[in-house]
Amino acid sequence: MQLFYDAMFKNQFNGLPICRPMFINIPNDKALFNDKEKFLSNQFFVGRDLLVAPVLGPQIDQGVNNHGKRDVYLPASCGWYCYMNNIMPLGNMVEGGTTVRDFDANINI
């Protein structure tokens, strides 16, 4: 919850949006303007520290089951940890500037 309050404070104080495109938080990551440009339209930050990479398509599309997986680009200049929920521990640190292939975001309903 603190993350959300920090983002709201920044929004009120200096006009930064709560949900931000990656190039606002990581302006020095040149890959975002080259080979990683496709991730600009399907990933964003909430505040400064939380990267959101939603699954935007159905798990089964045109008869092909992608099992809720997608590629996720982790912007350069810092390390990243996977947060799944309040019960599971954080995963190992992944170096920024990495594309995680077929990240499993499957929703088992």
Tens-place pLDDT, residues 50-106: 899 988 776 666 666 667 788 999 999 889 998 877 787 888 899 999 999 988 877
Fold of 2-104: Immunoglobulin-like (2.60.40)
Cβ atoms of 22 and 39 closer than 8 Å: yes
- In the block, residue with structure tokens 């599309």: 61
User: How does DSSP classify residue 109?
Assistant: -
Cβ-defined contacts of 76-79 (< 8 Å, 24+)? 76/26, 76/28, 76/29, 76/31, 77/26, 77/28, 77/29
| Dihedral sign for Cα atoms in the order 62, 38, 83, 18 | negative
Residue extents of the structural domains in the chain: 2-104
Residue of 13 and 24 predicted with greater confidence: 24
| pLDDT at position 31 over 60 | yes
